[in-house]
Amino acid sequence: MKRRQFLTGAAGAALLSAMPMGGIRAWAQDASGVITFGQSTAVLTLDPAHGAFTGYPGGYEAALLIFDRLLDFDGDMKIVPQLAESFAMSEDLQSCELKLRTGVMFHDGTPCDASAIKFNIERMMNKDINTTNRPLWNPISGAEVVDDTTVVIRTSAPFAQLPNTLAHGSGAIVSPAAIEKYGEDGFAQNPVGAGPYMVESFDPGQELTLKAFDDYWGSKPGASGVVFKFIAEPATRINALTTGAVDVIDSVPVQLVSQLEGNSEIEVVRKPGLRPIGLAMNLTRPALSDVKVRKALNLAVPVATIADKVFFGFAKAPDSPLAFDALGHKSVNETTYDPEQAKALLKEAGYVEGSDGMLEKDGAKLSLSLYAPEGLFPGDVAVAEIVAASLKQVGIDVQITKIEKGGYWDHLRQDQANLAWDLGMFGFNPSNASGTYHLASLFKSNADDSTKPDVWNISRYRNAEVDELLKTADTAPNEEERMDALGKAQELIWADAPYLWLQINENVSAVRKSVSGVSVMPIVFTNLRTATKS
């Protein structure tokens, strides 16, 4: 622990020595207007294919500035045009016609026309080149150039989420000439796009310097340049922001927000995330196969109080299996804290109080094993401890197993025979903002429950009606019908309670007031596309 304190101190000292420069820059408010962004994750690669932009989310945040996409998400995750002026899905949801803007140039001066788009779509379809985000790209079967400004993208089956894929970060349009020049392996370090900023210098893992692209098709970039700096330690990031060494920071721990709120030069930017955190219940366990027990668990934990106290109000208890800003979210029901009703439900389920006050059925104690990672989800261990204490209040014994975060996913995604947990903390971030994608990933029946889950249905949840609704939500021709089906699926899943739902955390960034236009997107990203520096 001494070493860490020393390192923090050393980093602080290093920052102090860098401070005069940053300070002068802030006071002078020169016309250069370079925005510096202190990121919690390093930018390593900048190619939508080959593992996509890394590290997450730092790489995606840089990509938002370098690359334009056919479509974009606005602040509320609604789909809006970007390189495409307009788009139209066909009746059968198997193709999408896009009208492109004219006169769009890549940073290298080559035109971003229909043939460049076709090149990009085909590149992302290729499983050998594009290895990640496969569920988003698998349904696409081809792209056709109709004329210079018209492209048709086809899918092999009805795929209502096609626009979400195109608006997703991996839909970044790259310069075919640059791929030719640097090769498939070299592009990630020499990215060329058609976005508002182009790369000036790139030191992977350390610093990325961008400068405004003069021939950008849209409105002129708000800054002459943007510098992405990797600063891992939250306290160091905050110091850098308060001294003016950086203008923007991301991932402010909620317990440190109060430090910034009193500072008149700094504004805290917050946005509820898309990732509902919860405890997946292992439905293959006899106790948890009973819906009464699952409902009782949900009633026994004061989730609203957790959101309010542990996260200082920077979190909310969910009202559906989807986060508030996910596309298709429907408010199903508020979470309620009612330990008495929980006890009554457990009694109905056949559990009686044993001599030690803990519940048992047929002589067997109701004892659950809770797996939680350390440092993977906000406040993970503290929340697990609160859940365990709350469930003990209604007579359920909970044993916590804390897992090192690197190995955590393997414990969750296991063959049925190797599942060691009854309750496993989990949160899914639907990076294309689609509620259908989210629910299908978590609640669509697995092909075979005994092997590893197909996607993330680690609970082994199985409801034929939900499967049917999710299919409708993905393939029905009209949007209202799709949203209706998605809404009904949320109601059914909520009623079946295969999770103990906990909280939806907010993403918190902070910005110096000399910079405006910074937004935090529900999918974690801090977006500097529209940022300007006075």
Partner 1 sequence: MPEAVVRSRRRPARQANLFLWLGAGLLTAFVVLAVLGEQIAPYDPTAQDLFAMLEGPTAVHLLGTDNVGRDILSRIIVGTRFTLSIALASVFFAGIGGIALGSVAGYFGGMTDRIVTGIIDLLLTVPNIVLAIAIASVAGSSATGLTIAITASFIPPLARLVRGRVIELREEDFIAAAVTVGMGHGRILLRHILPNAATVIVIELSLNAGQAVLIGSALGFLGLGVQPPAPEWGTMLGASREYLIVAPHLVIAPGIAISLLVLAFNAFGDGLRDVFDPASRN
Residues that bind partner 1 (CB under 8 A): 1, 4, 234-235, 253, 255-256, 258-259, 302, 305-306, 309-310, 374-375, 381-382, 384-386, 388-389, 399-402, 404
Answer for the pair 464, 414: CB distance below 8 angstroms, yes or no: no
Answer for the pair 416, 409: CB distance below 8 angstroms, yes or no: no
Strand partners, 54: 45
Answer for the pair 350, 358: CB distance below 8 angstroms, yes or no: no
Answer for the pair 452, 414: CB distance below 8 angstroms, yes or no: yes
Q: What is the CA radius of gyration of the chain?
A: 25
CB atoms near residue 219 (< 10 Å): 8
CB atoms near residue 533 (< 10 Å): 24
**DSSP-derived 3-state class of residue 120:** helix
Residue 210 one-letter amino acid:
L
Answer for the pair 160, 476: CB distance below 8 angstroms, yes or no: yes
Torsion of CA 215, 218, 224, 225, to 10 degrees: -100
Answer for the pair 300, 502: CB distance below 8 angstroms, yes or no: no
- The vertex-342 CA angle with 338 and 347, nearest 5°, equals 150
Q: Could you give the C-alpha distances from 411 to 48, 400, 430, 452, 503, in angstroms and in order? A: 29, 14, 21, 11, 22
Phi, psi of 134 (to 5 degrees): -60, -40
CB atoms near residue 58 (< 10 Å): 25
Strand partners, 421: none
By beta-carbon proximity to partner 1, the closer residue of 203 and 404 is: 404
Residue from 243, 280, 223 nearest 533 by CA: 223
Written as six digits, the tokens of 367 are 């004892």
Written as six digits, the tokens of 317 are 């208890």
Written as six digits, the tokens of 253 are 């721990």
Give dist(CA 9, CA 282) in Å, integer: 44
DSSP assigned state of 172: B
